[in-house]
Amino acid sequence: MTAIHYNVEAADLHAHLFRVTLTIAEPAAFQTVSLPVWIPGSYLVREFSKNLQNLQAKQGRRKVSLNQRNKCTWDMACNEGVPLVLQYEVYAFDNSVRTAWLDSQRGFFNGTSVCLRVHGQEKLAHQLKLPVVKGHPSWQAATGLTPIKTDKRGFGLYTAANYDELVDCPVELGHFWSGNFTACGIKHRFVVAGALPSFDGERLLADTQKICEAEINFWHGQGKLAGKKAPHTDYLFMLNAVNDGYGGLEHRNSTALICNRADLPRQTSPRTNEGYTTLLGLISHEYFHTWNVKQLRPDALASYDYTQENYTPLLWFFEGFTSYYDDILLRRAGLIDDTTYIKLLGKTIVQVQQTPGRHVQSVAQASYDAWVKYYRQDENTVNATVSYYTKGALVALCLDLSLRKESHTLDAVMRGLWKRCKAGPMREQDLLDELQSLTGRSWDKEIKAWVHSTVDLPLRELLAHQGIDIQAETSTMAQRLGLRVSEVGGSVQIKGVMRGSAAETAGLAAGDEWLGLEVGNKAQGGSWRLSKLDDLPALLGRERKLTALVSRDKRLLRLPLSVPAQASTWQLSVPKDRVSGQWPAA
């Protein structure tokens, strides 16, 4: 047995409990263990220790006393060098990619949720044993860890070089679909839980293979040696198909994904729907992270501190630039056409334009504040901050299009950074140095304006230079009023009010239920029940002013509201005479 050994057993499926036995071959005299408070790639303190229970420790038959130092750390006074065995349970009922889940249909866990860290021994080899789940002969196990001795279903013993590697390889358990393919000589496996019988696994494999080949070639060039230069020798996609869900989390040689099962490709429907395109974009995004954040990473995250927040102002680069390339690489892989790509880009632009917080917080500040703002969104988030995903993607767009005006590309910058930083920690200055090395001029002014200020990006000029038409598109009533609403069951529930909007001026607030409206006098207009915002034009006629009838905390309010004149948003299109092979081509 190696120095650090974990046995993680799906002990009680109906109670959602994993039982973990941790054996420390040579503990210190005063051994400390702790459970991480966050998982790399998801920048929020999630307090995983809240799900840990019944922690006990023994050396042989002797019980070792535990002293809880804080919310997630325990000290033990034990005999040095004598094997120490800890046993505990973890409640697993979060059906996301970030923590752990266990029920009668499926199991999943990240090491950060179930594996205590043995202080002082993090750099030693760690082993993980996955016992067969009793009573479930069809269940399988899948993980990116290196197998030592496993059965044909994947249960058995795995190894990791250190604690970081152990907790960066999540585990999927259950009765799942599985398929394999090779991309640039690298073996890839795709497992899918929860799919419908009509699921077209072969199409998902073929499309994912194209994505992987496009991205390996992006980073390492065309040819037989591309795969050998990649940072991984195998890769595992784990997809959980649910009724309603979306998300992903990158790992060093795997990724955990969630999608709506209706978005999976179907054998009975060869057409590519919008949901499947979104799923392919998610796959592309998480796979790109294999290079951009798991290897090339913020210098502040060169090593992880699992006990607290790890701040960096560079998420606009690592998440934003990845968001820029996820759809571009779908285009280069031949999975979408120019029209679809430009439509996806236009959607991102409109999202940023409709975020008043872009004038309040720079995208660098938004990166730093991810721990308290992006991952703790409320009704005021849109007014106080901007997404480093979407605006970061537009910063990448502006850089790429500006470079192309000078006969360069952002592709070259990304590959240059990979070499400059030796596929390791990166600073913003490295980006500036690489830009200057490539073009022979300073880019300080652009980065300061686009990343560290709140001025709008020069999108119109740069897109026009690439032959992209920008047309005005009529805004929705919600956009005109400055509202975010939920319309379910004939009820208009206000979820957010934009800063400086007509709705804010009228006094509407998040949490209000907009019941109806009064228009003009009773003879001309009267009072009307409101079931959806898009009914307003018909109810108003030529009127612009109305009285909103609102329920707030069981009180009825009458709020005077003036509807602004028709506003517009951007709609991008590709002219028919545009030269083939232009951006977004490589």
Mean pLDDT of 323-339: 96
Mean pLDDT over residues 143-152, rounded?
98
Find all residues with CB under 8 Å of 310, minimum gap 6, and list them. Answer: 38, 43, 300, 301, 304
Of 234-243, 426-435, 483-492, the range with the lowest mean pLDDT is 483-492
pLDDT exceeds cutoff 90 at 523: no
Mean pLDDT of all residues in 326-340? 96
Closest CA to 143 of 169, 110, 104: 169
Identify which of 10, 160, 4 has the alpha carbon closest to the alpha carbon of residue 92.
10
Mean pLDDT, rounded, for 194-198? 95
pLDDT number for residue 223: 83
Q: So what's the pLDDT on residue 65?
A: 96
521 vs 127: which has the higher pLDDT = 127
Mean of pLDDT values over 573-583: 77
pLDDT of residue 566: 78
Class of domain 292-467: mainly alpha
The rounded distance, in Å, linking the Cα atoms of 254 and 232 is 10
**Rounded mean pLDDT, 329-333:** 97
Class of domain 477-566: mainly beta
Residue 231: asked if its preceding bond is cis (omega within 30°), the reply is no
Q: What is the pLDDT of residue 577?
A: 76
- Say how far apart CA 37 and CA 110 lie, in whole Å: 12
Residues 6+ apart with CB under 8 A from 522: none
Average pLDDT over residues 40-55: 98
Residue 259: pLDDT over 60: yes
Provide the residue type at 361 as one letter.
Answer: Q
326 touches 348 (CB < 8 A): no
Cα 231-237-238 angle, rounded to 5 deg: 140
Average pLDDT over residues 556-560: 97
Q: Does the fold of domain 292-467 match that of domain 176-278?
A: yes
286 and 190 in contact (C-beta within 8 Å)? Answer: no
With bands split at pLDDT 50, 70 and 90, how would you rate the model's confidence at 270? confident
| Residue 30: how many other CB atoms lie within 10 Å | 12
Is pLDDT at 400 greater than 60 in this prediction? Answer: yes
Cα 415 from Cα 324, distance rounded (Å): 15
Whether the full predicted model's pTM is greater than 0.85, yes or no, is: yes
Coil/strand/helix, residue 348: helix
Q: Is the pLDDT of residue 442 over 90?
A: yes
The answer on pLDDT for 568 being more than 90 is no
Domain spans of the chain, in order of start? 4-175, 176-278, 292-467, 477-566
- Poorest-pLDDT segment among 280-289, 493-502, 518-527: 518-527
What pLDDT shows up at residue 272? 80
pLDDT in tens, 54-90: 999 999 999 999 999 999 999 999 999 899 999 999 9
Q: Is the pLDDT of residue 545 over 60?
A: yes
The mean of the pLDDT values for the chain is 95
CA distance 369 to 375: 9
pLDDT(525) > 80: no
Contact (CB, 8 A) for 263 and 276 = yes
Q: What are the b/e assignments for 35-64, b being 16+ CB within 10 Å? A: bbbbbbbbbbebebbebbeebebebeeeeb
Is the domain defined by 4-175 classed in CATH 3.40.50.2300? no
Q: Was domain 176-278 assigned CATH 1.10.390.10?
A: yes
Residues 6 or more apart whose Cβ sits within 8 Å of residue 367: 312, 313, 314, 315, 316, 388, 392
What pLDDT is stored for residue 2 in this prediction?
80
Confidence category of residue 585, pLDDT binned at 50, 70, 90: confident
Higher pLDDT, 570 or 92: 92
Mean pLDDT of 306-328: 98
Report long-range pairs for 219-225 (Cβ below 8 Å, ≥24 apart): 219/291, 219/414, 219/415, 219/418, 224/185
Residue 580 pLDDT grade (very low, low, confident, very high; cuts 50, 70, 90):
low
Check whether 575 has a pLDDT greater than 90.
Answer: no
Distance, CA of 296 to CA of 240 (rounded, Å): 28
